[in-house]
Structure 1
Amino acid sequence: MTAHNDAPLALVGHSPAAARALRDVGLVAVSVPGGDLGAVIGACRTLRFSGALVHESREGAAAEAVTPDTSARRAGRVDAVALTGAGAHGTYALADALSDAVEASGYAARGAGALLLGSGGDLARALPLVRLGLGSVAVAADSAPEAERFLRDLPAGTRTFTLSRHDPALASLAERADLVVLTGGTLPPGLLQPYHTLADLTGRAGTGQSGAAILDLSALPALRLARQLLHATGQRYRAEDLTGLVAELA
């Protein structure tokens, strides 16, 4: 990591325990109110905070209160903010961190067929996987219109299919997939097969008795935190040094 930085870091929606944990790695962190984020971010700029980390529950609101970069704009979420004289600039660090985690796992995403299962807005979490060169993408959301809205953010030329996750055709569509990505909700019983690999972005799903492989994303939370801190403070941290902090920031 880089040298100690005295500029405080705002924690939006995080607990005081998270602030104390970050102080252990040399950061002056302060929990701030999660409401009226436009006013909160403005006050943090006035007080010369270096930036902010945003809790998952406030990511959507943060995207409306700052200037988002490309990743944040596509996701409609901001999880880290850099505060400068020019303004408040938000990013969605999960996007690049997910790409890092998949590449570190050794999974060969290029050319694979994927089935994305989500509940609307959370499907944006899977965008980094799509941009790793998937051959085809099937999207199942709570409704077919929700799935279709997600398509506008996919790379041009991607072969796509959409349907409701309640559609009886979901099982047959899953049979064509190599990778099943769960971004929200639960896995339908019997959907996973032994030839599938599951990328669980909820952290709550299991493969049951299906025999499917699980994509190792255990490093994702720490990789994400490292990228959040880099954006918000300008300081570089090794992901392996941040593992103990992840639980406090959940």
Structure 2
Amino acid sequence: MPALPDAPLALIGHSPQAARAFREVGLVALAVPESDLGAVLDACRTLRFTGALVHPSCEVAVAEVVDTDADARRVGRVDAVALAGGASGSNAHGTYTLADALMDAVEASGYAAHGASALFLGSGADLARALPLVRLGFENVGIVADTLPDAERCARDVPASIRTFAVGRRDPALLALAERADLVVLTGGSLPPGLLQPYHTLADLTGQGSTGTSGAALLDLSALPTLRLVRQLLHATGQRYRPEALAGLVGVLA
């Protein structure tokens, strides 16, 4: 583990037990109030906190009171805040780390995404959180949402260099589109019956999906929560921690 920062880390929406768990691994963390978040973050900056980790229940509220990067603006959520400016008056900078952590997890699984085709299936909000996976080098991407307009809105965020197809869940063309895919990414809802085939690999982000008797492979994303915490701490503290050093914290923060 790298040298620990001198400044404490704020925990927004997390329990005092989470703060104690951080201290057990040598990182000073303090649970702070969830009300009047703008004032809370101003106080943290004045007190020279290094940054903050944000519980999912507070992600939308925090996004409204900090400067956000592109990933955070896309989904309207913030899960980590940097306060590196201390008392100098610099603004708090928020990010949403799920996209980068997903890419880390897919790469760690050994899946060869470059040049492959992917099908993303979910709803508007959860699709937006996972779509940055297209940065891994997919050539063709299918986007399936509850309605065609929702799918088309998500498709606008895909780089123009990637061939993109948008359909609604009830579109008869869905199964034909799925036949072209190598990787099926389930971000929300359930898989339509008969969609998965033996040549597919399923990346299930819901925790509810199953390959069933299809013969499809299941992508191992078990490292995702820890890799996300690595990304959150990198943004909030400027320090990169080894995943194995943080594994015990993930369950406490859930």
TM range (shorter): over 0.9
Match of 1:43 in 2: 43
Greater alpha carbon shift after TM alignment, 61-70 vs 136-145? 61-70
Which residue of 2 is the match for residue 117 of structure 1?
121
Aligned residues: percent identity?
Answer: 74
Tell me if the contact between 2:158 and 2:164 (Cα under 8 Å) persists in the aligned partners: no
Helix, strand or coil at the partner of 1:87: coil
Instruction: Say if 2:151 and 2:167, in contact at 8 Å, map to a contact too.
Output: yes
**As a proportion of its length, which structure holds more strand?**
1
After TM superposition, the structure 1 = structure 2 runs for residues 155-234 of structure 1, keeping only pairs within 5 Å, are 155-234=159-238
State the Cα deviation string for residues 184-220 of structure 1 (Å, max 9, x = none): 2222233211111011122232211111111111111
Q: Deviations over 1:104-145 (max 9, x none)?
A: 211111121111011111112223320111111111112222
Question: Which runs of 5 or more residues in structure 2 are unaligned?
Answer: none
Matched ranges for 1:29-178 at <5 A = 29-85=29-85, 86-178=90-182
Q: Structure 1 unaligned runs (5+)?
A: none
**Normalised by the size of structure 1, how large is the TM-score?**
0.92
Q: Secondary structure at the match of 1:5?
A: coil
Following the alignment from structure 1 to structure 2, what is the Cα–Cα distance between the partners of residues 39 and 141? 38
Cα separation, 1, equivalents of 2:220 and 2:194: 21
Deviation at 1:152, TM superposition (A): 2.2
Q: Distance in 1 between matches of 2:57 and 2:184?
A: 25
Give the conservation status (yes or no) of the 8 Å contact 2:188–2:205.
yes
CA positional deviation for 1:232: 0.6
Q: How far, CA to CA, are the matches of 1:103 and 1:192 in structure 2?
A: 22
CA distance in 1 between partners of 2:4 and 2:114 (Å): 40
Amino acid at match of 2:38: G
The answer on whether the counterparts of 1:5 and 1:26 sit within 8 Å (CA) in structure 2 is no
Residue range with higher mean Cα deviation, 126-135 or 58-67: 58-67
CA distance in 2, matches of 1:42, 1:95: 27
Distance in structure 2 (CA, Å) of the matches to 1:216 and 1:144: 30
Q: Whole-Å Cα distance in 2 between the matches of residues 187 and 18 of structure 1? A: 35
**Mean alpha-carbon deviation: is it higher for 176-185 or for 12-21?**
12-21
Deviation digits for residues 46-68 of structure 1, max 9, x if unmatched? 33221111122332332222111
Aligned with 1:104: secondary structure?
helix
Change (3 A) 1:9 1:192: same
1:16 aligns with 2:16: yes
Query: Could you state the TM-score of these two structures normalised by the residue count of structure 2?
Result: 0.91
C-alpha distance in structure 2 between counterparts of 1:42 and 1:139, whole Å: 40
What amino acid is the match of 1:144?
L
The size of the alignment, in residue pairs, is 250
CA separation of 1:237 and 1:151: change in aligned 2, threshold 3 A: same
Shift in Å at residue 17 of structure 1?
Answer: 2.0
* Separation of aligned partners in 2, 1:77 and 1:112: 29
1:91: Cα distance to partner?
1.6
- Gap change, CA 1:162 and 1:42, over 3 Å in 2: same
List per-residue Cα deviations over 1:58-94 (Å, max 9, x = no partner): 3233222211123323343221100133110112222
Looking at structure 2, the residues matched to 124 and 35 of structure 1 have their Cα atoms a distance apart, in angstroms, of 27
RMSD between aligned residues = 1.8
**What is the rounded CA distance, in whole Å, between the counterparts of 1:20 and 1:66 in structure 2?**
26
Q: Residues 4 and 27 of structure 1 are in contact (CA less than 8 Å); yes or no, is this contact kept in structure 2?
A: yes
